[in-house]
Structure 1
Amino acid sequence: MKTSSFDLAIEHLGPPSYQNEGVAIYNMECLHAMKSIPSELINLTVTSPPYNIGKEYESLIETSEYIEWCSSWMSEIHRITRSNGTFWLNVGYFEVKNRGLAVPISYLLWDKTPFYFLQEVVWNYSAGVACRTRFSPRNEKLLWYVKNPAEYTFNLDAVRDPNVKYPNQKKNGKLKCNPLGKNPSDVWQIAKVTSGANRSSKERTSHPAQFPTEMIERIIKSSSNESDLILDPFMGSGSTAIAALSNNRKVIGFEINQAYVELAKTRIESYFSEKKALETQPELAF
C-alpha cells in the first residue's frame, strides 16, 4: 500500500510532540525541521512568522538579518512544495530604522523566495492600535505564491461570498451573478482575534498573535483539496491545524515554544471531543 504524504513526513521527521488523527506537531525550529522533509511533499503551506517587533516569542534582530532569515525558510518551503503547490504568507508591518515607521513587511519579502508571486490579498480588520498622529492601522497582507503559475489549485466555488446584493439580476435572460455567490475579491474583511474582558473573541487563546480560523479556512478551501497535506512552520496556537482538520485535510506543524505546542494540543483535543460528541448524538425522529 502506498505511503501517504502525511505518514512519509512523519517517517522522516521522527516522533512528533503531539499526534492525533491527521495532525502532527513538532516542538522544533522550522528551518532545521524542514530539511528532514523530502522534496515536493507538501500541497499547501500557510503561516505567519514572527514580525520582529518584540513580541514575547521573538528576539529583535536587524532588518537585514530578518530578511535573510525569512529567505532561508521560504526557500526550504519551496523545495518541499509539490510542483502544483501553493504558499500563503501573512505578514504585518514594522519599523525600519531611519527609513520608516510602519513599513509593510511584504515590501521587503515578496521577491525573497523562488516561488512565483501570484497576488497580494489585504486582510482588513476592525480592531487594532489606535493612533493620534497617523491613521490607525487596520490591515495586514497575505502574499499568495504558487510554484507553477500554469498549474495550481484554486477552488473559487468553495469560497464564494453568498452575500450578493442582487442575486437574481439577469442579463439577456441569464443570471448575472453565479448562484453560489460572488468572488470575495482581494480585500478580506475578517474580524481579528481580539482580547479584553468585554470584546474577547470566542476562539481567543493566550497566544498574543492568533490567526482567525475563518481566514485560514478560506485559504485552505481555495488552495487545497481534501486529503491534501498542509504545513504551518510557525504553528502557534494551532489555528491552521483546526482549519485543516475541519476541512478534511492532513496537517503538520512546527512550533519552537513548548507552551504553544501544549496550547495547540489543548485546542485540537477539544476539537476532536466536540466532533465525537456531534457524531454520537442520536438522530431526531420526525
Structure 2
Amino acid sequence: MEKIIHSNIKPFWQNDKAMLYHADSMYLLPKIDPGTIDMVFADPPYFLSDGGISCSGGKQVSVDKGKWDSVVSLREKHSFNRRWIRLCSKLLKPDGTIWISGTMHNIYSVGMALEQEGFRILNNITWEKTNPPPNLACRCFTHSTETILWACRNEKKSKHFFNYLLMKELNNNKQMKDVWTGSLTPQKEKQFGKHPTQKPEYLLERIILASTQEGDLILDPFTGSSTTGVVALRNRRRFIGIDMEKEFLEISKKRIFTTCGRSM
C-alpha cells in the first residue's frame, strides 16, 4: 500500500493490500491524502443504546452495543454525521461514491447530512432481513429492515461507476431492484469473535462488486470486524479500516489473515 496516511499513528496491522488503524476516525481521516479513495462504506453508530432490551438466540438481551453507540441529542447526532461525512467527502476521488448503512435511529440524519455536504443520493437500498429478532414489546411491527444509502458527488462532471451488467446477471438477467433480501450474519462469519452490528458478507459483496473495480481503494471509517475489508480483499480490491476498539481490530486481523490465505 502506498503511503497516503500522514500520521504518527502506526497501523495496527497491515499487508501489501490492507491497513487497519486503531484510532478515532475524526482524527485520522484528515491525515489521509485528499482524492485517493474510490469508495467509502460506513456503518456508523446508530445511537440506539438506551438501556432497552431485544432478543438474541431466543434469549432476552440488552440492546446496548457499547459506549460508542450511546444515545445522544438530535443536535449532537446530526453534527456528528455531518462532520464525518464532510471528512470522507474530501478523500473521495471525483467519481467516487459512498455507501452508508443505518436504521430509523440515524438514517434520516445521514440522508440530510449527505445532501448538506454536497452529495446526490443515487439509491435508497432496503435490506430486508429474513430472520430478524422478534419484537418483545408487541406494541409495534417487528423491525426487519435496514436502509443503505448510496451517494455520489452532486457535480456535473461526476461519473460514478455502476456495474449494471453484473448486477443484472446476478439477478437472473433482470434489472436488480433496490430491495435486497437475506439473512442476518451467519455464525460461520463470527468464528473469530462477535461484533454487535456485523454485516453479512453477501451484503458487502454486492455493494463492492456494484460500485468498484479491481485495484480500487475502499475505506471503512467504522470498520468493526472488517466485513468490508474481508470482501474487498477477496475481490482484489485494497482496503483501509479504522476503529476505536482494539477488540474488534483483533477480530478484523484474524479474518483478513484468513482471507489472504496466511497463518498468524
Give the SS at the match of 1:93. coil
Does 1:111 pair with 2:117?
Answer: no
- How far apart are 1:11 and its partner, in Å? 5.1
Given the superposition, is the C-alpha separation of residues 217 and 57 from structure 1 closer, same or farther in structure 2, using an over 3 Å criterion? farther
Residues 89 and 144 of structure 1 are in contact (CA less than 8 Å); yes or no, is this contact kept in structure 2?
A: yes
Tell me the C-alpha RMSD between the 2 structures: 1.9
Query: 2:187 and 2:13 mapped to 1: Cα distance?
Result: 26
Query: 2:216 and 2:150 mapped to 1: Cα distance?
Result: 18
- How far apart are 1:13 and its partner, in Å? 6.9
Residues 234 and 260 of structure 2 are in contact (CA less than 8 Å); yes or no, is this contact kept in structure 1?
A: no
Query: 1:162 and 1:61 mapped to 2: Cα distance?
Result: 40
Query: 2:7 and 2:39 mapped to 1: Cα distance?
Result: 19
Aligned residue in 2 for 1:47? 42
- How far apart are 1:157 and its partner, in Å? 2.1
Given the superposition, is the C-alpha separation of residues 116 and 13 from structure 1 closer, same or farther in structure 2, using an over 3 Å criterion? farther
Residues 25-55 of structure 1: per-residue CA shift (max 9 Å, x gap):
0001111100001211100001101111122
The code of the aligned residue for 1:135 comes to F
Query: 2:260 and 2:131 mapped to 1: Cα distance?
Result: 30
Which 5+ residue runs of structure 2 have no aligned equivalent? 50-64
Residues 10 and 16 of structure 1 are in contact (CA less than 8 Å); yes or no, is this contact kept in structure 2?
A: no
- The match for 2:144 among 138, 143, 151 is 138
Given the superposition, is the C-alpha separation of residues 72 and 162 from structure 1 closer, same or farther in structure 2, using an over 3 Å criterion? closer
Query: 1:117 and 1:267 mapped to 2: Cα distance?
Result: 32
Give the SS at the match of 1:83. strand
TM-score (norm 2): 0.84
Aligned residue in 1 for 2:66? 56
Structure 1 runs, 4 residues or longer, greater than 6 Å off: none
1:86-105 to 2 correspondence within 5 Å?
Answer: 86-94=97-105, 105=106
- The match for 1:242 among 222, 230, 243 is 230
The code of the aligned residue for 2:235 comes to N
User: Which is higher, the Rg of structure 1 or of structure 2?
Assistant: 1
Residues 102-141 of structure 1: per-residue CA shift (max 9 Å, x gap):
xxx2222212132111221101111223222211011000
Residues 125-181 of structure 1: per-residue CA shift (max 9 Å, x gap):
1122322221101100000110246511101222335454xxxxxxxxxxxxxxxx2
Residues 39 and 81 of structure 1 are in contact (CA less than 8 Å); yes or no, is this contact kept in structure 2?
A: yes
Aligned residue in 2 for 1:261? 249
The code of the aligned residue for 2:188 comes to K
- How far apart are 1:62 and its partner, in Å? 1.3
TM-score (norm 1): 0.78
Aligned residue in 1 for 2:159? 151
Residues 236-274 of structure 1: per-residue CA shift (max 9 Å, x gap):
001000010011100001000011111100111122227
More displaced, 151-160 or 240-249?
151-160
Residues 13 and 37 of structure 1 are in contact (CA less than 8 Å); yes or no, is this contact kept in structure 2?
A: no
Query: 1:126 and 1:13 mapped to 2: Cα distance?
Result: 44
The code of the aligned residue for 2:26 comes to L
Query: 1:163 and 1:82 mapped to 2: Cα distance?
Result: 29
The code of the aligned residue for 1:74 comes to I
Residues 57 and 257 of structure 1 are in contact (CA less than 8 Å); yes or no, is this contact kept in structure 2?
A: no
- The match for 2:10 among 12, 15, 19 is 15
Which 5+ residue runs of structure 1 have no aligned equivalent? 1-5, 95-104, 165-180, 194-199, 277-286
1:197-212 to 2 correspondence within 5 Å?
Answer: 200-204=186-190, 205-212=193-200
Identity %: 27
Given the superposition, is the C-alpha separation of residues 77 and 162 from structure 1 closer, same or farther in structure 2, using an over 3 Å criterion? closer
Query: 1:144 and 1:32 mapped to 2: Cα distance?
Result: 24
Residues 6 and 32 of structure 2 are in contact (CA less than 8 Å); yes or no, is this contact kept in structure 1?
A: no
Residues 81 and 109 of structure 2 are in contact (CA less than 8 Å); yes or no, is this contact kept in structure 1?
A: no
The code of the aligned residue for 2:201 comes to T
Given the superposition, is the C-alpha separation of residues 158 and 72 from structure 1 closer, same or farther in structure 2, using an over 3 Å criterion? same
Aligned residue in 1 for 2:179? 187
